[in-house]
Amino acid sequence: MSEVVERWGSRRAFIIAVTGAAVGLGNIWRFPWMVGENGGSVFLLLYVAFVLLLGLPVMVAEILIGRAGRRTPMQALTFLACEAGGSRHWRLLGLLGGITLFLILSFYAVVSGWSLEYLVDAFSGDFASRSPEEIGAAFDAFLASPGRVIFNQTLFMVLTMAVVAFGVGSGLERLNNLLMPLLYLLLLVLVGYAATTTGFGTALNWLFWPDPRAISFMVVLNAMGHAFFTLAVGAGALMAYGAYMPEGQSVPRAVVTVALLDILVALLAGVAIFSIVFSQGMDPASGPGLMFVTLPVAFSQLPGGTLWLGSFFVLLLIATWTSSINLAEPMVAMLHSAGLHRVTSALLIGIGVWLVGIPSALSFSWLSEVQPISDMTFFDLATTVPTDILLPIGGLLIAFFAVWVMDAQRAVQALGSNERFFILWRQVTRWVAIPLLILVLMGAMF
List, in order, residues 6 or more apart from 132 with CB less than 8 Å away.
280, 282, 293, 297
Q: Considering the rule CB under 5 A, would residue 26 count as an interface residue with Na ion? A: yes
The interaxial angle of helices 342-361 and 305-337, nearest 10 deg, is: 130
Give the interface segment with Na ion, choosing from 18-26, 125-133, 248-256, 345-353 (CB under 5 A): 18-26
Binding mask 1-30 for ligand PFF (x = CB under 6 A): --------------------xx-xxxx---
Which one, 230 or 320, has the nearer CB to Na ion?
Answer: 230
- Choose among Na ion, ligand PFF, none what residue 39 binds, the Cβ cut-off being 5 to 8 Å by kind: none
The least distance separating Na ion from the CB of residue 396, rounded to whole angstroms, comes to 20
Backbone angles phi, psi at 273, to 5 degrees: -65, -40
Q: Considering the rule CB under 5 A, would residue 320 count as an interface residue with Na ion? A: no
- Choose among ligand PFF, Na ion, none what residue 323 binds, the Cβ cut-off being 5 to 8 Å by kind: ligand PFF
The least distance separating ligand PFF from the CB of residue 446, rounded to whole angstroms, comes to 27
The least distance separating ligand PFF from the CB of residue 280, rounded to whole angstroms, comes to 26
The least distance separating ligand PFF from the CB of residue 391, rounded to whole angstroms, comes to 7
Which one, 63 or 104, has the nearer CB to ligand PFF?
Answer: 104
The least distance separating ligand PFF from the CB of residue 265, rounded to whole angstroms, comes to 9
Residue 130, judged by CB atoms within 10 A of its CB (0-12, 13-18, 19+), counts as middle
Q: Considering the rule CB under 6 A, would residue 224 count as an interface residue with ligand PFF? A: no
- Do residues 39 and 404 lie in contact, with contact meaning Cβ atoms separated by under 8 Å? no
- Choose among ligand PFF, Na ion, none what residue 328 binds, the Cβ cut-off being 5 to 8 Å by kind: none
Q: Considering the rule CB under 5 A, would residue 32 count as an interface residue with Na ion? A: no
Which one, 193 or 379, has the nearer CB to ligand PFF?
Answer: 379
For ligand PFF, the binding residues in 268-297 under the rule CB under 6 A are none
Q: Considering the rule CB under 5 A, would residue 19 count as an interface residue with Na ion? A: no
| Dihedral angle of Cα 398, 245, 226, 209, to the nearest 10 degrees | 120
Q: Considering the rule CB under 5 A, would residue 296 count as an interface residue with Na ion? A: no
Which one, 356 or 424, has the nearer CB to ligand PFF?
Answer: 356
Give the interface segment with ligand PFF, choosing from 49-57, 121-129, 201-209, 228-236 (CB under 6 A): 228-236
- Please give the DSSP secondary-structure letter assigned to residue 213: G
Whole-number Cα distances in Å, 193 to 206, 280, 299, 358, 415: 18, 14, 9, 37, 42
Query: Which of 19, 27, 177, 377 lies at the binding interface for Na ion (CB under 5 A)?
Result: 27
Which one, 97 or 416, has the nearer CB to ligand PFF?
Answer: 97
The interaxial angle of helices 408-415 and 56-69, nearest 10 deg, is: 100
Positive or negative, the CA dihedral 45, 40, 277, 24 is: positive
Q: Considering the rule CB under 6 A, would residue 232 count as an interface residue with ligand PFF? A: yes
Binding mask 243-262 for Na ion (x = CB under 5 A): -------------------x
CB atoms within 10 A of CB 181: 10
Q: Considering the rule CB under 5 A, would residue 230 count as an interface residue with Na ion? A: yes
List, in order, residues 6 or more apart from 177 with CB less than 8 Å away.
16, 19, 20
Residue 209, judged by CB atoms within 10 A of its CB (0-12, 13-18, 19+), counts as exposed
Q: Which of 252, 244, 243, 258 is nearest to 94 (CA)?
A: 243
How far is residue 388 CA from its own chain's centroid?
12
Alpha-carbon gap, residue 167 to 10, rounded angstroms: 18
Report how many residues bind ligand PFF under the rule CB under 6 A: 16
- Choose among ligand PFF, Na ion, none what residue 121 binds, the Cβ cut-off being 5 to 8 Å by kind: none
Whole-number Cα distances in Å, 206 to 209, 269, 282: 6, 14, 14
Which one, 72 or 323, has the nearer CB to Na ion?
Answer: 323
List, in order, residues 6 or more apart from 418 with CB less than 8 Å away.
none
Binding site for ligand PFF (CB under 6 A): 21-22, 24-27, 101, 104, 229-230, 232, 235, 237, 323, 326-327
